[in-house]
Chains A and B, each alone.
Chain A
Amino acid sequence: MLHIVNKSPFENQTLDSCLRVVGNAEGDAILLTEDAVFAASKGNSNESKIKAVMGKVKVYALWPDVEARGMQDRVIEGIKMVDYGGFVDLVAEHSTCQSWL
C-alpha cells in the first residue's frame, strides 16, 4: 500500500501514527507531500524514526513540495524524490493508497 502523508510532523501526530501502524509493513511505501516534506530534511527530529523504517518501507518525498519550501539542499539520504508524474506512478504501482489526513 502507498501511504500519503501531507502534514508537518511538528504540527501534529499524523506522521507518527503512520509510522507506528505501517513501519513494519514490508513492501509498503510512504510518500511525503505538502508540509510533510519537512520530515525529509536532514537533522530534523524525525530523521531517525524515518531511517528506522527505511529497511522495510520505501520512503519518498514530492520534489515540487520540497523545493517550494527551500528544503532541496538538505534532503535525508535514502529518501527518493519524485515529481507529480512519479506520484502518479506510485499510486499506479501499489494496489491501494491511503491518505493520512
Chain B
Amino acid sequence: MKFAIMINEGVYQHQATDSAYQFAKAAIEKGHEVPRIFFYHDGVYNASSLTEPPQDDRNIVSRWQKLAKEHNIDMVVCIAAALRRGIKESNLAEGFRISGLGQLVEAGIQADRLVVFGD
C-alpha cells in the first residue's frame, strides 16, 4: 500500500514529526511504500539545514534525510509556508525540495492512504 504523509508541525516543539517518523518507518518495515511526505505549516522547519540539537538526543532532520534517501521518499516542503517562515533554498537541508501545495493534493490522489500528523 502507498502511504502519503502530511506533517504540520516543526522540530522538537511538538511530537507530530516524531510520530510521523515512527509511523513511516513502521510502514516501510511492513513492506509498504511511503512515496511522499508533505511538510506544511510549521512542518517546513523539518527541512532546515541549520538545526543543531544536543548530541544526546535524536537529530530529527538527519533522521528524515536518511530514511528518505534509503527508501526513495519525496520530501516536499510547501513553498508558501516555507517563505513565510524563512525556509529557502539557501537553508534547505539536502534531500528536501520546495514545491507547491499541488504536491499535497496529488499525493492524496495517488496514494492509498493519507495520514496527517499535527497538533
Contact = CB atoms under 8 A, between A and B. Distances in A.
Interface of A: 4, 6-7, 33-35, 64, 83-85, 87-89, 91-92, 96-97, 99, 101
Contacts of B19: 6, 33-34
B116 interface: yes
B25 interface: yes
A88 B8 contact: no
B118 A88 contact: no
In this complex, the interface size class of chain B, counting residues with CB under 8 Å from chain A, is 20 to 34
Contacts of A35: 15
Interface of B: 1, 3, 8, 15-16, 19, 22-23, 25-27, 29-30, 32, 112-119
A85 B15 contact: no
Nearest to A35: B15
A88 B119 contact: no
Contact of B15 (A34, A89, A101): A34
A85 B113 contact: no
A85 B117 CA distance: 16
Contact of B118 (A91, A92, A96, A101): A101
Given A34-B19, A64-B22, A88 B116 contact: no
A91 B22 contact: no
A88 B23 contact: yes
Nearest to A94: B113
